C-alpha cells in the first residue's frame, strides 16, 4: 500500500486539527479549573482555619494546620451556642418547608383546576408579592409579631418564611399542576373522591418533581436567611445560624479559628444538602430560564 | 377516605371547597407579607421616632422631602448603582463566558457546574465575615498580607476603610457570589439552541467566533435581558455585604438604600424616616419593573407589526 502525497498531507492536517482541538480543550479546562479553585477555595480556607491555633493563623494564613485543634468546634458549639442555633436552624427550615409546601400546593391546586369568580384577582394579588422586598417588612413585622405573641418564636419565624415564599411557590406549582392530565383525577372523581382526596391522593403525588424543586430552593434560602431572622428573634432560644454567625465575634475576640469553626458549622450542612439536591436546583432554574 | 366519598361530588369544585383551599395561603400571605408592606407605606408618612405609633403625627410627604436634602441618600443610591455596574460589567459577562465554555465541553461540564454554583448557596453572613478577613486592613487581612508577601507593599490599600475602595469592596462580593446562578440560567438557554444551527453554519464555513456572534448571542438575547432585570432588582435590594462588612461605614460611605434604612430604623430609631427610605427602594423597584415591562411589550408589538 502506498500513500500518495496528498493523502499524507490530509492525514497530517487531520492530526494537526485533532491536536489543536485537544490543546483548546486543555486550555479551556485550565481556565475552568482556575475559576473553580476560586469558587471552592474560601470553603477550604474556612475548614483549614477552623482547625488552627490563632498564633498559627497569623504566622501562616494559607498552610495546613500543624496541630489540628478540634476544640475550636467544641468551643463554637457549646460556648458560642452554635449548637442551639444549629438545632433552631434545622427546626425552622423543616417547619417552614412543610408550611409553605402545604399552603402553596393547596392554593395552586385550586388555581390550576377550578374556575371561580375573582380567580384572576387572587392570582394577581399573590403575584404582586414578587415585587415586595423583604426589607420593607421588617418594622411592621417586628411590631405585629409582638402583638400576636409570635415574636422571638421559631413558629412565628416559620410562618413568616412560609408567607414570603408563597408567591413564588404558588406560581411554580400551579404551572406544574396545569401540565398534569385531567383524566387521572376524573377517574378518581368517578370513584366518588372528594376535593381533598383528589388533591392528596392524585395531584400531590404527581406533583412530586415540582415539590422537590421548590423544597430544595426553600431549604437553601431558609438556611441562609438573615435579616428577617435577625429582626424577629431576640434571644438564644430562637436565633438561627446566620444570625449567630453575625454575633460570633463578640464571643471570640481574637479567636478567628473559633469564628471559622462556627462558619464551618453553618456552611457544611448546606453544601452537603446542595450536593444531594443539585439536580433539582438545575431543573428549577432551567424551567425558569426557558420560560423567561 | 369514607368521609370524602360520602361528601363526594357535591362538594367538588364548590365555592366553599375552593375557598377552603385558597384561603390558608392567601390569609398567611396577606397577614405576614401584604399587610405589613402596606403598613410600611403608612409608617413612611409619619414622623415617628420611637414611642407609641398613636402619638406619631402624620406629616405627609415630609419624609420624602427630607430625603432630597439628606446627603447620605445620593451616596447610598450611587452604591446601589455601583453594584448594578459590577453585575452588568463583571458578573453577567463572566457567567455567560463560563456557560459558553461549559456548553462546548466534551467532558466534566456537570462537575464544573456543581463547583461553580457552590458560592451561590453559601450563607451571605458567612461570606461577609470571610471577605472581611480577606480585605481587612489589620495584620491578618489576607489580601494585604498576600501583597506584602509578593513584595508589592505599594499596592496595599485600606480596602474596608478608604474612600474610593470601601464602596467597591462592599459591592463586589455579591456580584462574585452570584456568577454561578446566572451561569446556570445561561447554560440552560445555550443548551436550548438547536445544534443544527451550528452544523449549518459550520458547513457554510463560519468560524467559532462567527458562530458565537451570529448564532449564540442573538439566540440568548431574551434570556440575557431577563437576567439584567433580575440584577436590577437585586441591586436595588442590596444591603447584606455593606451591612455586615462595614455597617455601611466609614462615615456612611458604603451605605446602600436598604442598609441605610436599617441604620435609621434600628440604630437611630427614626422609624418614620427609615421606612420612607425603604419605601423609596420599593417604589424604584416597581418603577423599574414597570418600565421594563412596558419596554418589553413595545418590543413585542413591534415584532408582530
Query: Closest Cα partner for B186 from B226, B146, B137, B153?
Result: B226
Which one of B36, B104, B282 has the shortest CB-CB distance to A141?
A: B36
How near does any CA of chain B get to the CA of A5, in Å?
Answer: 26
Considering only CB atoms, A170 lies closest to which of B25, B35, B113, namely B25
Q: Could A196 and B4 be called an inter-chain contact, meaning their C-beta atoms sit closer than 8 Å?
A: yes
Tell me whether A109 touches chain B (CB under 8 Å): yes
Distance separating alpha carbons of residues A281 and B118, to the nearest angstrom:
12
In a domain, residue A68? The reply is no
- For residue A40, being part of any structural domain is answered with yes
- Per-residue pLDDT at B265 exceeds 70: yes
pLDDT of residue B117: 93
Write down the number of H helices and E strands in chain A: 14, 0
A199 and A243 fall within a common domain:
yes
Q: A117 and A35: one domain?
A: no
User: Lowest mean pLDDT: which of A88-97, A163-172, B32-41, B241-250?
Assistant: B241-250
Q: What is the pLDDT of residue A282?
A: 85
pTM of the complete model: 0.88
pLDDT in tens, chain A (292 residues): 566 777 888 888 888 888 888 888 888 888 899 999 988 988 898 999 899 888 888 777 778 888 888 888 988 898 888 999 999 999 999 999 999 999 999 999 999 999 988 999 999 999 999 889 888 999 899 999 999 999 999 999 999 999 999 999 999 999 999 999 988 888 888 888 888 999 999 999 999 999 999 999 999 999 999 999 999 998 888 899 999 988 877 666 667 888 889 999 999 999 999 999 988 888 888 877 655 4
CB contacts of A278 in chain B (<8 Å) are 114, 117
User: Are A236 and A157 members of one domain?
Assistant: yes
CATH number where A189 lies: 1.10.3720.10
Q: What is the pLDDT of residues B134-172, one digit of tens each?
A: 888 766 678 888 888 888 888 888 888 888 899 999 999
Domain co-membership, A21 together with A143: no
Least CA distance to A185: which residue of chain B?
A: B12
Residue B9 has pLDDT above 60, yes or no: no
| Together in a domain, A44 and A102 | no
Distance from CA of B278 to the nearest CA of A (A): 6
Q: What is the CATH number of domain B63-304?
A: 1.10.3720.10
Inter-chain residue contact B22 with A42, CB threshold 8 Å: no
The reply to whether A100 touches chain B by the CB within 8 Å rule is no
Cross-chain CB nearest to B112 (options A36, A45, A110): A36
pLDDT at B211 over 70: yes
The reply to whether A281 and A155 lie within a common domain is yes
Whole-complex ipTM: 0.88
Judgement on whether residues A137 and A228 belong to the same structural domain of the protein:
yes
Q: Tell me how far apart the alpha carbons of residues B116 and B101 are, in angstroms, rounded to a whole number.
A: 13
Q: Which long-range contacts (CB under 8 A, 24 or more apart) does A59-66 make?
A: A61/B140, A61/B142, A61/B145
pLDDT of residue B301: 44
Domain membership flag for residue A58: no
CB contacts, 8 Å: A110 with chain B: 18, 21-22
CB pairs under 8 A between A and B: 263
- So what's the pLDDT on residue B302? 43
Give the model's pLDDT for residue A26. 87
Please report whether residue A232 resides in a domain.
yes
**What's the rounded Cα separation, in Å, for the pair B147 and B143?**
6
Computed on alpha carbons and rounded to an integer, the radius of gyration of chain B in Å comes to 25
Give the end-to-end CA distance of chain B in Å, rounded to a whole number: 56
Hey, where are the domains in chain B? 63-304
Contact B115 A25 (CB under 8 A): no
User: Interhelix angle for A241-251 vs A82-113, to 10°?
Assistant: 160
Residue of A179 and B55 predicted with greater confidence: A179
- Chain-centroid distance of CA B196 in Å reads 36
Given this model, what pLDDT does residue A2 score?
A: 61
Question: Domain for residue A62, yes or no?
Answer: no
Considering only CA atoms, which of A228, A41, A141 is closest in space to residue B127? A41
Of A160, A193, A199, the CB nearest to B32: A160
**Contact (CB, 8 A) for B101 and B190:** no
Cβ neighbourhood burial of B104 (10 Å; 0-12, 13-18, 19+): middle
Residues 6 or more apart from B179 whose CB is under 8 A from it?
B91, B94, B95, B98, B116, B119
Q: What pLDDT score does B4 carry?
A: 44
- Whether residue A128 lies within 8 A of chain B, CB to CB, comes out as yes
Q: What percent of chain B has pLDDT over 90?
A: 46
HEC secondary structure over B213-238: HHHHHHHCHHHHHHHHHHHHHHHHCC
- CB count within 10 Å of CB B69 equals 7
pLDDT at B304 over 50: no
**What pLDDT is stored for residue A151 in this prediction?**
92
Structural domain for A229, as ranges: 81-291
pLDDT at B26 exceeding the cut of 70 = yes
% chain B with pLDDT above 70: 92
- Confidence grade of residue B6 (pLDDT, cut at 50, 70, 90): very low
Residue A73 resides in a domain: no
**Is the link from the previous residue into B49 a cis peptide, with omega within 30 of 0?**
no
Across residues B88-117, what is the average pLDDT? 90
**Residue B92 vs residue A65, higher pLDDT:** B92
Instruction: Classify residue A71: in a domain, yes or no.
Output: no
Tally the domains of chain A: 2
Instruction: Name the minimum distance, in Å, from the CA of B247 to any CA of chain A.
Output: 12
Q: What is the largest CA-CA distance in chain B?
A: 83
Judge whether A66 lies within some domain: no
| One-character DSSP codes across B236-298 | HT--HHHHHHTTT-STTTT--HHHHHHIIIIIS--HHHHHHHHHHHHHHHHHHHHHHHHHHHH
- What's the rounded Cα separation, in Å, for the pair A271 and A43? 10
Closest Cβ–Cβ partner in B185, B236, B244 for A289: B185
Amino acid at each position: 500500500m502506498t500513500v500518495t502525497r496528498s493523502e499524507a498531507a490530509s492525514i497530517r492536517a487531520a492530526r494537526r486539527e485533532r491536536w489543536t482541538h485537544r490543546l483548546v480543550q486543555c486550555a479551556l479546562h485550565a481556565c475552568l479549573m482556575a475559576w473553580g479553585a476560586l469558587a471552592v477555595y474560601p470553603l477550604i480556607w474556612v475548614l483549614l482555619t477552623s482547625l488552627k491555633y490563632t498564633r498559627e493563623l497569623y504566622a501562616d494564613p494559607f498552610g495546613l494546620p500543624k496541630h489540628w485543634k478540634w476544640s475550636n468546634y467544641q468551643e463554637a458549639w457549646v460556648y458560642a451556642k452554635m449548637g442551639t442555633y444549629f438545632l433552631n436552624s434545622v427546626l425552622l427550615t423543616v417547619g417552614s418547608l412543610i408550611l409553605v409546601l402545604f399552603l402553596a400546593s393547596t392554593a395552586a391546586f385550586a388555581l390550576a383546576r377550578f374556575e371561580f369568580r375573582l380567580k384572576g384577582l387572587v392570582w394577581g394579588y399573590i403575584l404582586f408579592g414578587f415585587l415586595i422586598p423583604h426589607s420593607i417588612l421588617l418594622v411592621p413585622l417586628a411590631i405585629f409579631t409582638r402583638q400576636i405573641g409570635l415574636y422571638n418564636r421559631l413558629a412565628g419565624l416559620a410562618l413568616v418564611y412560609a408567607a414570603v415564599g408563597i408567591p413564588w411557590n404558588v406560581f411554580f406549582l400551579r404551572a406544574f399542576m396545569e401540565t398534569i392530565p385531567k383524566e387521572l383525577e376524573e377517574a378518581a372523581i368517578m370513584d366518588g373522591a372528594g376535593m381533598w382526596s383528589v388533591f392528596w391522593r392524585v395531584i400531590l403525588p404527581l406533583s412530586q418533581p415540582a415539590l422537590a424543586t421548590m423544597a430544595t430552593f426553600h431549604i437553601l434560602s431558609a438556611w441562609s436567611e438573615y435579616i428577617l431572622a435577625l429582626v424577629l428573634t431576640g434571644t438564644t432560644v430562637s436565633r438561627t445560624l446566620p444570625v449567630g454567625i453575625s454575633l460570633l465575634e463578640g464571643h471570640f475576640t481574637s479567636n478567628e479559628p473559633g469564628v471559622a469553626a462556627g462558619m464551618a458549622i453553618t456552611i457544611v450542612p448546606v453544601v452537603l444538602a446542595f450536593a444531594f439536591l443539585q439536580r433539582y436546583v438545575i431543573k428549577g432554574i432551567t424551567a425558569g430560564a426557558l420560560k423567561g | 377516605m369514607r368521609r370524602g366519598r360520602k361528601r363526594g361530588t357535591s362538594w367538588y369544585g364548590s365555592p366553599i371547597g375552593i375557598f377552603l383551599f385558597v384561603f390558608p395561603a392567601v390569609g398567611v400571605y396577606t397577614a405576614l407579607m401584604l399587610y405589613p408592606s402596606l403598613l410600611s407605606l403608612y409608617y413612611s408618612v409619619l414622623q415617628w421616632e420611637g414611642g407609641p405609633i398613636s402619638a406619631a403625627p402624620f406629616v405627609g410627604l415630609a419624609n420624602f422631602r427630607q430625603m432630597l436634602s439628606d446627603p447620605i441618600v445620593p451616596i447610598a443610591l450611587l452604591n446601589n448603582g455601583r453594584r448594578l455596574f459590577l453585575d452588568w460589567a463583571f458578573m453577567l459577562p463572566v457567567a455567560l463566558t463560563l456557560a459558553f465554555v461549559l456548553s462546548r465541553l466534551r467532558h466534566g461540564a456537570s462537575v464544573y457546574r456543581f463547583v461553580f454554583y457552590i458560592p451561590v448557596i453559601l450563607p451571605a453572613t458567612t461570606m461577609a465575615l470571610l471577605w472581611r478577613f480577606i480585605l481587612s486592613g489589620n495584620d491578618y487581612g489576607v489580601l494585604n498580607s498576600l501583597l506584602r508577601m509578593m513584595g508589592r507593599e505599594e499596592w496595599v490599600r485600606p480596602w474596608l476603610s478608604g474612600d474610593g475602595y470601601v464602596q467597591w469592596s462592599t459591592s463586589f462580593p455579591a456580584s462574585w457570589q452570584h456568577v454561578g446562578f446566572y451561569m446556570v440560567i445561561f447554560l440552560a438557554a445555550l443548551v436550548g439552541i438547536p445544534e443544527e444551527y451550528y452544523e449549518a453554519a459550520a458547513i457554510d464555513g463560519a468560524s467559532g467566533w462567527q458562530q458565537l456572534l451570529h448564532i449564540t448571542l442573538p439566540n440568548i438575547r431574551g434570556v440575557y435581558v431577563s437576567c439584567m432585570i433580575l440584577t436590577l432588582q437585586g441591586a436595588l435590594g442590596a444591603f447584606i455585604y455593606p451591612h455586615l462588612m462595614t455597617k455601611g461605614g466609614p462615615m456612611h460611605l458604603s451605605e446602600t438604600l436598604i442598609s441605610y434604612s436599617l441604620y435609621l430604623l434600628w440604630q437611630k430609631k427614626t422609624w418614620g424616616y427609615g421606612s420612607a427610605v425603604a419605601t423609596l427602594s420599593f417604589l424604584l423597584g416597581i418603577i423599574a419593573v414597570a418600565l421594563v415591562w412596558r419596554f418589553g411589550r413595545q418590543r413585542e408589538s413591534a415584532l408582530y407589526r
